[in-house]
Chain A
Amino acid sequence: EAQVTQNPRYLITVTGKKLTVTCSQNMNHEYMSWYRQDPGLGLRQIYYSMNVEVTDKGDVPEGYKVSRKEKRNFPLILESPSPNQTSLYFCASSLYPNQPQHFGDGTRLSIL
């Protein structure tokens, strides 16, 4: 089954404790993205990747890192999480950016 898998689905952690949210897709898609969703602000792109070893900043990259060492995986890394990064995060992929995005189920992060 074609899918985008994010883990974990929920995480409560504390300020400053490094965390990684994994994202994996099985559709051989070139384009992968991370978004955060906050009330009243809609989906905002954090980082995107056009291919292996090619990543670019979206609109809200501060405080986040990503890597794309393999085509299928695009982890989101919070080196030193802070409470303002409490949010709902989505990973998405598509063959190219002008193709429909497939979204993961979302990860709800709470940083205390």
Chain B
Amino acid sequence: ILNVEQSPQSLHVQEGDSTNFTCSFPSSNFYALHWYRWETAKSPEALFVMTLNGDEKKKGRISATLNTKEGYSYLYIKGSQPEDSATYLCASLGGATNKLIFGTGTLLAVQP
């Protein structure tokens, strides 16, 4: 994988559903993986930054895991609420440069 890819592109769930999405990134020369939450008409807000293989981070109902050997990270939302509706972005930081490469995001819509 040369770029950062996120799937699915969009997701519609009902309130209370648990959901997850994927971020794939180049596994060679990996340094850090960022997750951001971006609500419409606002700026992206940081959720997590992970660096170690096997890292798991949690913030309330949102958690993330990291597999640096195979180059993927999962973001999980437990019991989705309408206020979770946003675009979720991941970004990969390579070790050779200090460039942050973003994926195109997963748009989550939670129906009440």
Contact = CB atoms under 8 A, between A and B. Distances in A.
Nearest to B51: A98
Interface residues of B, number: 23
A42 B46 contact: no
A65 interface: no
Contacts of B45: 103
A58 B99 contact: yes
Contacts of B99: 45, 48, 56, 58-59
B49 A45 contact: no
Nearest to A39: B104
Contacts of A103: 43-45
Interface centre among B48, B91, B93, B105 (most CB of A within 10 A): B91
A106 interface: yes
B31 A98 contact: yes
B102 A98 contact: no
Contact of A33 (B32, B36, B97, B100): B100
Interface in A68-92: 90, 92
Contacts of B49: 98-100
A59 B100 CA distance: 9
A106 B104 contact: no
B104 A40 contact: yes
Contact of A98 (B32, B44, B89, B101): B32
A44 B102 CA distance: 7
Nearest to B104: A42
A41 interface: yes
A103 to B, nearest CB: 4
Interface of B: 31-32, 34, 36, 43-46, 48-49, 51, 89, 91, 93, 97-105
6 tightest A-B contacts by CB? A100-B46, A42-B104, A103-B43, A98-B32, A43-B102, A97-B98
Interface of A: 31, 33, 35, 40-45, 48, 50, 56, 58-59, 90, 92, 97-106
